[in-house]
Structure formats: C-alpha cells, structure tokens
C-alpha cells in the first residue's frame, strides 16, 4: 500500500505523511477506515515503529486522521471540524504557486484552464 524511497532526502515520516494524505484525498482510504497498526506497518516497511508513530501524529495534527486509544488510527471524515488554519495555509501556497507559474510564463488563461481541469477531474 505504501512505498518509501529510502534514498530520498525527504525524511521517511514525511514521505509516509504525504502518501497517506494522498490516499485520503483521492478517497482510496475512506472516512472512518482504520489505518494499519503502527507495528504492522513498521514491519511491512521495515522501518522503526517510532517513525510510523511520528507520521500518524503529524497526520492527526493536520486533521487527516484521528486516534482512539486502544483501538488505533482512523481516517477523519472531511469537514468534521473547523479547518480554517489549514485552509489559510493552502491559500497562501496556491498564491505562491500561481505567482511562480506567472513568473515561468504561463498566462492567466492557462492557469484558469489548469485549475478548471483539476476541479473537473477531482469531482467525487
């Protein structure tokens, strides 16, 4: 389910966070679905369980998963709580990306077309 690039300069826990986040956003992991247990995933990926735990803590902090003591970690349904801070961060990131696209020569029309394509592909 998860592939980690051990030669990457990106820390393993960050790779794991991004992979799980991508699976959640693309609806591969469904709301309230249980994530693999820390020890099980650590043995599958042959990495330290503390690394898995760190990734899970980060995902919980970002609002993608929740944990139930003694039960495990689960995918948080979208929109359960106020995500204002994360949305502000994403808006800033989008503004930086648009500025970079303009700098690299994309026109506003090309940027709009790209966004419209992304929105139509992301409909659930």
What's the token pair of residue 60? 């919980």
Element (H, E) at 18: helix 12-25
Find where tokens 């994530």 sit: 35
Q: Where are the domains of the chain?
A: 12-75, 84-121
What's the token pair of residue 77? 């349904």
What are phi and psi for residue 83, nearest 5 degrees?
-105, 30
Q: Which residues contact 84 (CB under 8 A, 6 or more apart)?
A: none
12-75: CATH topology is Arc Repressor Mutant, subunit A (1.10.10)
Q: What is the pLDDT of residues 33-44, one digit of tens each?
A: 999 999 999 999
DSSP summary character for residue 11: -
Q: What is the pLDDT of residues 54-104, one digit of tens each?
A: 999 999 988 899 999 999 999 998 765 666 667 777 888 899 999 999 999
What's the token pair of residue 23? 């699976």
Query: For residue 75, what pLDDT is reported?
Result: 94
Q: Which residues pair with 73 in a beta bridge?
A: 67
């Amino acid at each position: 389910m998860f592939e980690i690039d051990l030669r990457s300069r990106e820390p393993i826990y960050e790779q794991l966070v991004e992979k799980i986040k991508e699976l959640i956003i693309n609806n591969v992991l469904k709301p309230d679905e249980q994530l693999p247990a820390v020890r099980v995933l650590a043995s599958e990926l042959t990495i330290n369980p503390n690394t898995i735990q760190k990734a899970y803590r980060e995902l919980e902090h970002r609002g993608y998963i929740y944990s139930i003591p003694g039960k495990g970690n689960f995918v948080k349904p979208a929109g359960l709580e106020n995500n204002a801070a994360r949305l502000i961060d994403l808006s800033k990131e989008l503004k930086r990306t648009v500025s970079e696209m303009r700098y690299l020569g994309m026109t506003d029309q090309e940027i709009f077309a790209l966004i419209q394509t992304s929105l139509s592909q992301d409909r659930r």
